[in-house]
Amino acid sequence: MKEEEKCPLYRKPEGLSFGKGVGYCDFDSGSTICEGDVKSCEKPDALKRYLHAKLDDMEDKSRWK
């Protein structure tokens, strides 16, 4: 049984039902259907680059405080 890692960009749809556990991804403005597990991401390389860029931005902002 594989262990699930929740994606921070996963959003459950409100008012729509795609199926059990299926939502959408905030990464690309909701155009990707997502189950919330980073191991089953359709775009893992793009997600990794996006999250690294966000982390770098947060680190840069914390230096200026």
Domain that holds residue 45: 10-63
**Count of structural domains, the chain:** 1
Is 1 part of any domain? no
Give tens-digit pLDDT for 10-63.
887 776 555 556 777 877 666 677 788 888 888 888 888 888 998 888 888 777
Check residue 1 and give its pLDDT: 46
Give the model's confidence band at 2: pLDDT under 50 very low, under 70 low, under 90 confident, else very high. Answer: low
Report how far apart, in Å, the C-alpha atoms of 18 and of each of 2, 39, 49, 58, 64 are: 23, 20, 27, 33, 43
Is 19 part of any domain? yes
Is 5 part of any domain? no
Is 2 part of any domain? no
23-25 and 10-11 strand pairing: antiparallel
